């Protein structure tokens, strides 16, 4: 009888412990950058950009996804320090210091915001031509994992369905790891789970004896 009572107390303790450990966690969130638009860079190159900016060596730059019409005829991840080189001009907000960038072709049919893609950093142009309907993603890192992601669907001549998102605090105008990054959730090894479950079970058994 005592063994049965102990097992019920032990298993009840484990259930309670697992319920506590399986509570929902906070995931990393992205915010849409203000003033996302498709414009032109240096009067000829179609570009997607926003008011999300990064500091490069003391100069505030605008990250952009652009198609270099000439001389390279290729997709590029651009940092531009002169807003007037864009039309319309952005009003960049300083979100932090720039560290690296990358660009990929996510292919046709991709519907995400580019923050879920895998990037090889310090690759700032595509060596292969994009086809109409391809979604191009660019990532601009601040202090990893903080970043700005820019997406644009290429239609053969310009970008459509533009988007720019960041996991930094846009409203504060500065980098904010504490508010945007995923909240760390402490975990326990199996031995620790069993030990705590046993302690909860013994506590329950003690209560039964009283």
Query: Are residues 35 and 53 located together in one domain of the fold?
Result: yes
List of residues 6+ apart from 1 with CB closer than 8 A: none
Alpha helices in 41-189 (DSSP H): 177-180
Which domain does 201 fall in, by range? Answer: 2-25+186-209
pLDDT recorded at residue 197? 57
DSSP string, 2-34: HHHHHHHHHHHHHHHHHHHHT---PPP--EEPT
Query: Are residues 61 and 92 located together in one domain of the fold?
Result: yes
Tokens found for residue 66: 């652009």
Domains: count for the chain: 2
pLDDT recorded at residue 191? 52
- The structure's pTM equals 0.70
Are 115 and 165 in contact by the 8 Å Cβ rule? The answer is yes
CA angle 175, 179, 185 (to 5 degrees): 125
Query: Are residues 152 and 203 located together in one domain of the fold?
Result: no
Compute CA distances 77 → 46, 49, 138, 153, whole Å: 12, 10, 6, 14
Query: Are residues 19 and 51 located together in one domain of the fold?
Result: no
Tokens found for residue 157: 């001549």
Query: Are residues 94 and 194 located together in one domain of the fold?
Result: no
116 sits in the region (left: phi over 0; alpha: psi -120 to 50; else beta) called alpha
Quick one: which of 160, 163, 51, 143 has its CA closest to 96?
Answer: 143
Query: Are residues 10 and 69 located together in one domain of the fold?
Result: no
Query: Are residues 204 and 100 located together in one domain of the fold?
Result: no
Quick one: which of 158, 117, 168 has its CA closest to 138?
Answer: 117
Tokens found for residue 174: 């500065």
Query: Are residues 171 and 191 located together in one domain of the fold?
Result: no
Angle between helices 2-21 and 190-209 (to 10 degrees): 130
Cis amide linkage into residue 71, ω under 30° from 0? yes
CA 49, CA 32: separation in Å to the nearest integer? 12
Query: Are residues 107 and 38 located together in one domain of the fold?
Result: yes
For every one of its 210 residues, what pLDDT tens digit does the chain have, with 9 covering 90 and above? 545 554 455 455 444 444 334 434 334 589 999 999 999 999 999 999 999 999 999 999 999 999 999 999 999 999 999 999 999 999 999 999 999 999 999 999 999 999 999 999 999 999 999 999 999 999 999 998 999 999 999 999 999 999 999 999 998 664 333 333 334 444 445 555 455 555 555 555 454 455
Query: Are residues 72 and 88 located together in one domain of the fold?
Result: yes
Query: Are residues 99 and 7 located together in one domain of the fold?
Result: no
Query: Are residues 17 and 39 located together in one domain of the fold?
Result: no
The single residue listed with the structure tokens 């932090």 is 96
């Amino acid at each position: 009888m005592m063994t049965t009572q102990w097992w019920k107390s032990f298993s009840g303790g484990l259930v309670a412990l697992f319920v506590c450990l399986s509570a929902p966690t906070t995931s990393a969130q992205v915010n849409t950058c203000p003033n996302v638009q498709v414009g032109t860079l240096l009067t000829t190159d179609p570009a997607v950009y926003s008011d999300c900016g990064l500091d490069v060596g003391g100069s505030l730059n605008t990250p952009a996804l652009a198609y270099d019409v000439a001389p390279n005829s290729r997709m590029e991840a651009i940092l531009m320090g002169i807003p007037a080189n864009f039309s319309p001009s952005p009003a960049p907000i300083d979100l932090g210091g720039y560290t690296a960038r990358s660009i990929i072709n996510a292919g046709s049919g991709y519907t995400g915001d580019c923050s879920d893609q895998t990037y090889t950093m310090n690759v700032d142009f595509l060596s292969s031509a994009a086809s109409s309907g391809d979604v191009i993603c660019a990532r601009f890192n601040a202090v990893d994992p903080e970043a700005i992601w820019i997406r644009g669907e290429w239609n053969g001549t310009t970008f459509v369905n533009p988007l720019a998102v960041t996991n930094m605090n846009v409203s504060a105008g500065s980098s904010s790891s504490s508010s945007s990054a995923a909240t760390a959730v402490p975990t326990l090894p199996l031995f620790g789970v069993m030990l705590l479950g046993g302690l909860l079970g013994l506590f329950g058994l003690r209560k039964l004896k009283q």
